[in-house]
Amino acid sequence: MSVDHAAGPGAHGRLGEGREPLRGTDRPLAELFDVALMDLDGVVNRGGAAVPHAADTIAAVGRRGLRTVYVTNNALRTPEAVADRLTGFGVPAAAADVVTSAQAAAHVLAERLPVGARVLVLGGRGLRDAVADEGLTPVDSAEPTPDAVVQGFDPELTYARIAEAAYAIRAGAWWVASNADRTVPTERGIAPGNGSIAALLSAATERQPLVAGKPEAAMHRESMRRSGARTPIIVGDRLDTDIEAGYRASTPTLLVFTGVTTPAELLAAPPEHRPSFLAADLRGLLRPAPSVQVGGAAGAPQATCGGWVARVEDGVLSWTTDAATEADDGDGLDAVRAACAVAWAAADVGAAIHAITPDRPPGCAELTPPAPRD
């Protein structure tokens, strides 16, 4: 699908209103939006190391007019600390460029609680400071019972602190979680995230938290409020947070493969987890997005991207090269784009893929047939 880029800010409405994924553009993405609402873990950095090409790309898109605001579900650090860490990676950032789930959670609390209300903070400095900045009183004890418990990621949590939060929640304190990410990418691999601690607390208290972070609306509202974005694009690596947040807010999304999501997981994505654009890394912001055309018969859909044609026939996913188009695409993902588009088209009409041909294009070696939907 082509996009009319001459319309200026109004183009955001057309890009965001539809649910059609993997749309094409005639100009680089950096020239079509005013703010990139960019995830951190798995996009800009992995734990204590920068993602390759991230710093140079963020600087380059800034020169093209795309401002970057860092939107993170990690509530551990203050915006100032996040910005300092990013500049240490060579990434241009100031505290005002950072929006955290701690800020979103604290704002949710402040909208409901009176000024000075006591909030038990199960998290790090970023969460404690965000609560105080909203005029609330951070506490560490369940006695007397606080008005609320707010919980965020903190690798230094102890059993005693978790137990204190459980006592307060069982006694009737309102429970807000900064985010529900079950895992977090680090330089050593995938580690437990805040959602895993929330699951532990939920099992102990038989309660469920109100979640403020991505993909919930509270986080998107906080990001828009603080960034002043008019035509944003959400950039992330997680289907169930970054991409779903864009789906819920009718905001275009770019998925990058530098974090937790794999091509196989993307192939099986339900509608709410399908990105608008796809790239190997942040350099995708500097390129036009390849168009993907979906067609074929109802029982045998096909999708074309660049020089690749993906088909589903009798439940088998296969590829051929489009003789009229050069198959050597710019980022090596055109075959993946075609495969995802045709797999989604097949799934939407109830045509399951049960096998994938062993003769596969570059980038598709690890694809597996999507599991049947419930």
Per-residue pLDDT at 330: 76
Q: What is the DSSP string of 314-358?
A: TTEEEEEE-TTS-S--SSS-HHHHHHHHHHHHHHHTT----EE-S
Return the higher-pLDDT residue of 208 and 13: 208
Per-residue pLDDT at 320: 95
> Which structural domains are found in the chain, ordered by start?
5-73+216-286 (3.40.50.1000), 102-211 (3.40.50.1000), 293-356 (no CATH)
Percentage of the chain exceeding pLDDT 70: 92
Cα distance between residue 154 and residue 167, in whole Å? 19
- How many residues in total does the chain contain? 374
Per-residue pLDDT, averaged over 354-365, amounts to 94
Residue 198 has pLDDT above 90, yes or no: yes
Per-residue pLDDT at 327: 52
Does 41 participate in catalysis according to the annotation?
A: yes
Per-residue pLDDT at 324: 58
Per-residue pLDDT, averaged over 296-305, amounts to 87
CB-based contacts of 6, cutoff 8 Å, min separation 6: none
Residue 92 has pLDDT above 50, yes or no: yes
- 3-state SS, residue 52: coil
Percentage of the chain exceeding pLDDT 90: 82
Per-residue pLDDT at 9: 33
Cα distance between residue 282 and residue 210, in whole Å? 32
Per-residue pLDDT, averaged over 116-142, amounts to 98
Could you say which of 4, 26, 34, 39 is catalytic? 39
Per-residue pLDDT, averaged over 139-166, amounts to 97
Residue 234, Cβ neighbours under 10 Å: how many?
30
Burial of 328 (0-12, 13-18, 19+ CB in 10 A): exposed
Per-residue pLDDT at 176: 98
Per-residue pLDDT at 197: 96
Per-residue pLDDT at 329: 57
Per-residue pLDDT, averaged over 130-149, amounts to 98
- 3-state SS, residue 311: strand
Cβ atoms of 193 and 214 within 8 Å: the answer is no
Per-residue pLDDT, averaged over 99-124, amounts to 98
Per-residue pLDDT, averaged over 266-286, amounts to 97
Of the candidate ranges 19-28, 52-61, 81-90, the one whose mean pLDDT is the lowest: 19-28
Cα distance between residue 96 and residue 280, in whole Å? 28
Cα distance between residue 136 and residue 133, in whole Å? 7
For the chain, give the mean pLDDT. 91
Cα distance between residue 314 and residue 39, in whole Å? 39
Per-residue pLDDT at 374: 63
Does 4 participate in catalysis according to the annotation?
A: no
Could you say which of 4, 34, 41, 147 is catalytic? 41
Per-residue pLDDT at 104: 97
CB-based contacts of 144, cutoff 8 Å, min separation 6: 118
* Strand pairing category for 137-139 and 118-122: parallel
Per-residue pLDDT at 154: 95
* Furthest CA-CA distance within the chain: 73
